[in-house]
Amino acid sequence: MTSPLPRELVLASAGSGKTHHLSSRLIGLLAMDVPPETIWASTFTRKAAAEILERVLVRLAEAALDEGKAAKLAEDAWLGEEAERPGDFLTRSHCGRLLTDLIFSLHRANIGTLDSFFVQMAKTFARELGISPTWRMVEGPEEDRMRSEALEAVLDQKDSGVMAELVRVMAKGEVRRGVHRHLLEQVEKLLEALREVAKDDEEAWTLRFPDVEVEGAPDSKQIQERCQEIAELMAARGEPGDKVWAPNSYWEKELRRLAEVVRIRNWKEFFRIGIGKKLVETEELIPAGEVKFRSHHPDPGLADLLDETVFLARLDLAREIKGQAAALERLAGWYRDAFEEAQRGRGDYRFGDITHLLRSHQVMSEADSLYFRLDAHVQHVLLDEFQDTSQAQWEVLDPLVDELLSGHETERAAVVVADPKQSIYGWRGARPSLVNQVRETHRLEHGELDLSYRSGPVILDVVKDVFSELNGNPVVGEMDGGPEVAEQWIRDFYRLDARWKDRPGYAELRVGPPAAGMGGIQPAVLRFAAEFIGDLHQKEPRASIGVLVRTNKVVSYLIAALRELGIPASGEGGTPLTDAAPVNAILALLRMVDHPGDKLARYHVAKTPVGEVVGYTDYDDLPGSNRLARRIRGQLMRDGYGVVLGEWAKDLDASCHTLERARLLQLVEMGFGYDAERTLRPRDFVRLVEKQRVEDPSGAQIRVMTIHQSKGLQFDVVVLPHLYQSVEQTGFGDPVVPWRDEDSGRITRVYPATNKTTRTLLPELRPSHDQNRAFRLRDDFSGLYVALTRTRYALHMLIPADGERGEGTTKSSARILRNALAPGDPADEADPVLYSHGDPDWFEKLRPHEFSGGAGTDAGQEDRREVGDPVPLRPTAGARVRNLARRSPSAMEGGETLDLATHLQLDLKGDARLRGTVVHAWCEAIGWIEDGIPDDATLSRAARKEAPGLSDDRIQEWLDEFKAWMESPAIQKALSREAYSPEARVEQELPFVQRVPDGILQGYIDRLVVWREDGDVVGAEVLDFKTDVFDASDPDAVEAKITFYRPQIDAYRSAVAVRYGLEPSAVSGKLLFLRPGVVKEV
C-alpha cells in the first residue's frame, strides 16, 4: 500500500473506545504484513498493555469465525482512508492466518509499559549507563535498606546547615509513620527535584531577591543593631500614658509586643497577629500608613518605623531562604551520591532510577545502535495514555520518536492516544501539556473519539452539566487561581454522545450526615455510605459497584465498615494481607522471632490460635519466647518461609473463615516468592507483607478503591462517598517547591517550601507555589472527571448535610457538584435526594447478561458483541513474571485447549457463578447423606452468607432444585458412608498449597473422603461438585465433560497424595454432576 500511514493524535474521552482504536490500528498494520517486532505499542500500566494485546487476539479470533465480524474488522482496521480496500483484506481466512502468526510470534511483540521498555533498554545498554550487567529491579525491604544506607551516609556528614534543614523539613506537617520513614520520604523528594534540573543548570538552587538585596543593604550585624534601636523607639511609644502617640491601651500592648519580637528578630511572631498580620493579610504587602489597627492608623513616624522593620524582616528572610536552598542542594547532592554508590555496590535499581539514567545518557539518540542491540527495527509507534507521560519519560522517548517520524509517511506510522482531562498524575511528573506540544512538534493530525461506549445519556448529561462551565462554578471561583486552571482544563472538554442512546441510567446527589471538621476520615459520613452501599447491593446483587475515594486510608476504613455489616467488599490492585486476623497473628509471631523481647508481639501471639499452634500461650514467658525464636529462625533458614508458613496455615485452617483461609494461602505464596531473596531478619518479611498489596481473592461485586486505581475500569454502579474533603488539602509538606519552564518542562529554579506570609514578603517565591498549586488543582478536577465517568448505568454522589452555617466554606468536590447540579438548594437529611436525573429503577430495564458481573476494563465497541465458537490456543509457556506463577486446579480445566471466549471472560452472562458458589456452600454442609441434609433455615443462612443480596424467592427457588438434585440415586450413593470402610471420614472445602515446577498450585477440594489403617491414611477419594448443563444421555457429551475436567481432578489427586504421603494410585477422583444426577470416575 502506498497511501500514507496514520500519523495522528487522537483525543479519547472516558469510555470512547481508545483500546478499540489502538487495536484497530495495530491489526491494520499486521494486515499489511508488518512484522510484529517492528511495531512498538506502549501504555501506562501492565493491565492496559495486556488489554490491548487481548483485544487484538479476540477481535482476530472472532473475525476468523464470523464473516460479519471479519467485514466489520476490515472496515475498522483499514489504514488507506479513501483508497479502495482490496477484496482479500481481513477476510475470515486472512484473520485466521494473522491470528496464528501473531500467537507464534508473541515473544517478539513489543506491547508493554514504558517502564518495561525502559528496563529492556537499560539491560541492553548497561555498560553505557555505568551499571552492572547483572543489575536487577528492587522494591520493598531491599529498596528501604538501600535508601536507609544512603541517609545514614548523609547524616555522617555532620554539616550544621544540612542538619538544620533536616530538622526544618521534619517540622513541616504531621509525622505519621515514624521519623526515619518521614526523613526518607523528604530526601527522596529532594532527589527527584535534583534529577529534574537540567544537567548544565548550575543556578537552579541559587536564589535572588533583587527587591531587598540592594547595593549597600545592611549585613546581619547591622540589622541586629538597627532592630535594637527600633525596638527601643517602639517600646517608648508603648509606655502607658505616653502622650506622644498611643491612642488606646490596645495600641500600648501591641507596641510593647512589637518591640519585644523586633529586638530578637522573631519575624514569625511579628507577622502572626496584630498590626504585623494586618500588613500581610491580603497576600500583598501593604504600606504601614494604610493599615488600621483598633480603629486607628499609625502616625507617620510609627509608620516609617514599621515599614523599615518590614524591609529588615524581608532582608533577613531572603538570606535565610537562600541559605536553606543552598543547604537543601547539598543535602540532595550528598543523598544522590550516597544512594547511587549503594546502587552500584548492590546492582539494585528502581523504575525511576532507570528513567533517570536513560535520560542522562541519551542512549535513544543512536537509533542504529538501539535497533542492533534490540535485534529489531522499530518502524511504527503507538502510544496510549500519553497524558500521563512525565517530562523525564518523554525526554527519553523523544529522540526515538523523532527518528521514527523522519521516515516517509508511507513507511512509518505513529498513533498517540490521550485524554488530558484524565491526567491525574501531575504529582509524579505527568505533563498533559505535552499532548499538544508533541502534536505541533511532530505535525500529527488531530482527531477525536466522540462516542461513549460505556455510559448512557443520563450519565453524560451529568458530566456535561458539571464540567462544561467549570470555570464559572462559584466554588471554583473561591479557589486561588481556580477559574484560570478551570479555563485551561475545559479547553480539552468536548461533548461526548452516547453510542447506546437507549441505555438506562440514574444519577443522584444524596445527602448524608453532616461532616465534623475537615478530617479525611468522617466516621458518621462513611458509616452512612457503607449502609447505603449495602442497600444498593441487596437491591440488585448482579450489579458491580465501584466505590471511589481519594485516599488509601478511606479505602481501608470503608472496606472494614462494609465487612462489619456483613457486606463482601474488596479493593482494586489489592490490599495488604493485614486485613486478615490470622495473617496479623503470624506477623506478630515473626516480630517476636525477630525480637523476643517485644512484649506486644508476645501478647498478640499468646492470645490467638497461633500461640496454640507454636506452643506459646503465656506472654510473660520470656525464656520460652527466646527458645521459640531460636527454633523458628532455624526452621525459616532451613526450610524457607513458604514451607513454614504453609504448615502454620494448615494448622490454623479450622479456626479461619473462607476469606481468612484465602489470605493465608496468599501469605504462603508470598513466602515462597520471598525465599529466593530472604534475609536473616524476619522483620524484613513482615515489612514486605505490610507494604505489598495483594488482590483480594473474594471477587466481591463491591470494589473499594482510590480514584487513581479506578483508571481504565468501569462498573455498573459508582458510589462517591469521599466528596467532603477540601481539594486544596493535598500536596503540602514537601521540602521544596520547584518552578518548571513552561516550554521545556524542566525545573529551572528550586525554592524551599514556605508559608503564605513569607511568600507575601518575598513575591519571588509566589510563582513556583502558584504553579504547583495549579498542577494539583488540575489533577483534582481531572480526578473528579475520572470518578464521574467510571459508571455504565448509575452514579450516586454522597454529600454531607448542611451544618449550622449552611453548606460551609470547604472547597470540596461536594460543593462543586452541588453548585453545578442543584445550585442554592439546601442539603437536609430529612429530604435526602438533593438532585436526581434518570430512572432510579434502571436495573429493571436490563437483561441478565447486560450486567458487567465485576470490575471490567475500558469498554470499547465490543460492549454488545456475541461470543463465537471455541478457538484452540496453546498457553504461552516460560513467560517471565515478577512472582511465582499461581494456578488453581480449576484453571487447568480443558488441558491445553482453551475456549477463547471463556478464557478472555467474554461470556459472563447471568448469575451462574453466584449460584455455583451457593450450591457448593450447601454441599459443604452435607456430611454423610445418611445423617440428612440440613434444614431450609440453615441452608438459607448459608446462601445469604455467600450472597448477601439474594432475595428470599430466589434462595427458595434454588433450594428446591438443590433438594431435588440430592434425590438422585447416583448422588446419594456417592455421598453415602456405605461406599467406604468404617474408618472413612469426610473433609469439606480442604485448602491446599503445593509447589510445582512452574509455580504454585493452590485451591480447595470440594469433598475429600480418607480412610485409615492402624491410624495411617491409606487411601482417599476426591469428589468434585459440578452444576453444568448438558445432555447426560449423550455418551459423547459425558465423555467431553470428563475430558475437560480431568486435569483439574488430577491436580487434586496429586495434592492429596503429597499431603498424606500416598502413592497417586491410592487416590481416586469422581465428578458429581448434580443437575443430571450423574457420577463419573476420573
Q: What is the pLDDT of residues 274-306, one digit of tens each?
A: 999 999 998 899 999 999 998 889 989 999 999
Q: Which three cell numbers stand for residue 2?
A: 502506498
Name the residue among 36, 768, 847 with its Cα closest to residue 377. Answer: 36
C-alpha neighbours within 13 Å on the C-beta side of residue 984: 19
Residues 6+ apart with CB under 8 A from 389: 114, 383, 397, 430, 431, 434
Q: What percent of the chain shows pLDDT beyond 90?
A: 51
C-alpha distance across the termini of the chain, in Å = 55
Name the residue among 1056, 1022, 1027 with its Cα closest to residue 1041. Answer: 1027
Going from the C-alpha of 736 to that of each of 169, 205, 324, 831, the distances in angstroms are 9, 10, 10, 47
Residue written as grid cell 478464557: 903
3-class SS of residue 1012: strand
Residue written as grid cell 435526594: 833
The pLDDT score that the predictor gives to residue 858 is: 45
Neighbours of 387 (CB within 10 A): 26
Instruction: Please give the Cα distance from 481 to 924 (Å, whole number).
Output: 62
Name the residue among 819, 790, 780, 777 with its Cα closest to residue 720. Answer: 790
The pLDDT score that the predictor gives to residue 882 is: 39
The pLDDT score that the predictor gives to residue 571 is: 80
Helices 67-77 and 18-31, packing angle to 10 deg = 90
C-alpha neighbours within 13 Å on the C-beta side of residue 87: 0
Task: Tell me the pLDDT tens digit for each residue of 909-943.
Answer: 345 667 888 898 899 889 999 999 999 999 998 88
Going from the C-alpha of 471 to that of each of 490, 642, 781, the distances in angstroms are 8, 56, 11
Instruction: Please give the Cα distance from 395 to 197 (Å, whole number).
Output: 13
Going from the C-alpha of 1081 to that of each of 1041, 1067, 1074, the distances in angstroms are 12, 12, 14
The answer to whether 327 and 162 are in contact (CB under 8 A) is: yes
Residues 6+ apart with CB under 8 A from 853: 542, 544, 701, 908, 913
Q: Tell me the one-letter amino acid at 88.
A: D
The H-assigned helical ranges of 975-1022 are none
Residue written as grid cell 499532548: 435
Instruction: Please give the Cα distance from 418 to 384 (Å, whole number).
Output: 6
The pLDDT score that the predictor gives to residue 1028 is: 84
Bridge-based pairing of strands 702-706 and 570-571 is parallel
Q: Which three cell numbers stand for residue 994?
A: 503445593
The answer to whether 115 and 95 are in contact (CB under 8 A) is: no
Residues 6+ apart with CB under 8 A from 47: 712, 857
The H-assigned helical ranges of 870-935 are 900-903, 912-924
Neighbours of 171 (CB within 10 A): 8
Which H/E stretch holds residue 793? strand 791-800
Kindly report the pTM of this predicted structure. 0.76
Number of residues that make up the chain: 1082
Q: How far is CA 618 from the centre of its chain?
A: 41
The pLDDT score that the predictor gives to residue 763 is: 95
Residue written as grid cell 437491591: 539
Instruction: Please give the Cα distance from 922 to 942 (Å, whole number).
Output: 7
Q: How far is CA 799 from the centre of its chain?
A: 24
Give 1026's strand partners: 1073
C-alpha neighbours within 13 Å on the C-beta side of residue 609: 12
The answer to whether 170 and 186 are in contact (CB under 8 A) is: yes
C-alpha neighbours within 13 Å on the C-beta side of residue 459: 34
Instruction: Please give the Cα distance from 736 to 749 (Å, whole number).
Output: 10
Instruction: Please give the Cα distance from 1077 to 1028 (Å, whole number).
Output: 11
Instruction: Please give the Cα distance from 343 to 349 (Å, whole number).
Output: 6
Instruction: Please give the Cα distance from 126 to 130 (Å, whole number).
Output: 6
Transcribe 661-673 into DSSP letters: HHHHHHHHHHHHH
The answer to whether 417 and 12 are in contact (CB under 8 A) is: yes
Give 754's strand partners: none
Going from the C-alpha of 459 to that of each of 600, 710, 714, 718, the distances in angstroms are 51, 17, 13, 11
The CA radius of gyration of the chain, in Å to the nearest whole number, is 33
Bridge-based pairing of strands 380-383 and 747-752 is unpaired
Q: Tell me the one-letter amino acid at 272.
A: R
Domains of the chain listed by start with CATH number: 7-128+358-449 (3.40.50.300), 139-349 (no CATH), 457-572+702-733+771-844 (3.40.50.300), 577-691 (no CATH), 968-1081 (3.90.320.10)
Task: Tell me the pLDDT tens digit for each residue of 390-437.
Answer: 888 998 988 888 888 876 777 788 999 999 999 988 777 778 888 888
Instruction: Please give the Cα distance from 746 to 753 (Å, whole number).
Output: 19
3-class SS of residue 894: coil
Residue written as grid cell 478472555: 904
Bridge-based pairing of strands 985-996 and 999-1013 is antiparallel
- Which residues, given as ranges, of the chain have pLDDT below 70? 1-3, 158-162, 165-178, 238-247, 364-376, 407, 518, 573, 697-699, 729-732, 853-913, 948-949, 993-1001
Residue written as grid cell 452435607: 926
Instruction: Please give the Cα distance from 442 to 460 (Å, whole number).
Output: 33
The answer to whether 471 and 518 are in contact (CB under 8 A) is: no
Rounded to the nearest 5°, which phi and psi values hold at 515?
-75, 150
Rounded to the nearest 5°, which phi and psi values hold at 765?
-80, -20
